[in-house]
Homo-oligomer: A and B are copies of this chain.
């Protein structure tokens, strides 16, 4: 049910990020190891922050392993912050407006998981979205609705709080409809300067999520590895599953927690839903 990666650090050629790794996102499109499905061929998307106000956003319903235009774009674009996602639909239509990441002004959002029983909850959730934001919803996914709830509840001012309130609201609506464990998530969101990544599920059994080990630590561990010497010290990746199998390069993000990545710092904090 989807795989994603969130990169920040020195400007990187998108091709190096999305195509080169041994278990790249493109490879995961057909053979993911830790996803709910091995195939994630229901579309993909890439958001990247360049020299302009809002991030670029390339989304397509083609399976990621086939899309030539994505390959071309990646061979010619560099960015210091990149969000990329491959989709395995949990029911809603396969269309460009249902591909992640979703964008609102400078914000990007992507999600692996589901709002369980979304059809049943959909109207109540839609009504909870801020009136000024409602018409910006373009697609029909639970993931996009989740984004708009987070925006409604303060994502732009205090992202962890916005997400905590959105999650609590969904769980509350769920309970009122007899859905016991409504939220299943790993989520990443960014404003272009900081990235927040969340791992939480109402039932406590979330999809996989990993973050990269500090690069300078890895250089000590692997003094002869040339790739590590090319990476800047503030390189950070948060990923659904590791992009390669270098021992010690990845450590799991715990259940019910979130990571804040800003420049070379990353901190892990506990995550708890809080009703708005």
Give chain B residues whose Cβ lies under 8 Å from the Cβ of A131.
123
Surface stretch bound by B, among A49-57, A151-159, A223-231, A267-275: A49-57
Contact between chains at B66 and A42 (CB < 8 Å): yes
Give chain B residues whose Cβ lies under 8 Å from the Cβ of A138.
93, 140
Q: 5 closest A-B pairs (Cβ-Cβ)? A: A56-B76, A123-B134, A95-B95, A119-B135, A122-B135
Q: List 16 A-B contacts (CB under 8 A).
A: A30-B39, A31-B39, A39-B39, A41-B66, A42-B63, A42-B66, A48-B76, A56-B72, A58-B72, A59-B69, A61-B62, A66-B89, A66-B94, A93-B95, A95-B95, A119-B135
Within 106-161 of A, Cβ neighbours of B (below 8 Å) are at 119-120, 122-123, 126-127, 131, 134-135, 137-140
Contact between chains at B96 and A96 (CB < 8 Å): no
> CB of A213 within 8 A of chain B?
no
Partner of A134 from the list B66, B122, B134 (CB cut-off 8 Å) is: B122
Give chain B residues whose Cβ lies under 8 Å from the Cβ of A126.
126, 134
Q: Indicate whether A73 sits within 8 Å of B73 (C-beta atoms), given known contacts A39-B41, A66-B94, A140-B138.
A: yes
Contact between chains at B58 and A69 (CB < 8 Å): yes
The contact size tier of chain A is 35 or more
> CB of A23 within 8 A of chain B?
no
> A42: nearest residue on chain B (CB-CB)?
B66
Give chain B residues whose Cβ lies under 8 Å from the Cβ of A97.
93, 95, 140
Contact between chains at B30 and A56 (CB < 8 Å): no
A229, B134: Cα distance in complex, Å: 42
Interchain nearest-CB distance for A38 vs B (Å): 7
> A69: nearest residue on chain B (CB-CB)?
B58
A149, B97: Cα distance in complex, Å: 23
Give chain B residues whose Cβ lies under 8 Å from the Cβ of A61.
62, 66
Give chain B residues whose Cβ lies under 8 Å from the Cβ of A39.
30-31, 38-39, 41
Contact between chains at A56 and B41 (CB < 8 Å): no
A75, B50: Cα distance in complex, Å: 10
> CB of A220 within 8 A of chain B?
no
Give chain B residues whose Cβ lies under 8 Å from the Cβ of A58.
69, 72-73
Q: Indicate whether A57 sits within 8 Å of B72 (C-beta atoms), given known contacts A95-B95, A134-B126.
A: yes
A67, B42: Cα distance in complex, Å: 11
A60, B76: Cα distance in complex, Å: 17
Give chain B residues whose Cβ lies under 8 Å from the Cβ of A122.
134-135
Partner of A41 from the list B41, B73, B119, B120 (CB cut-off 8 Å) is: B41
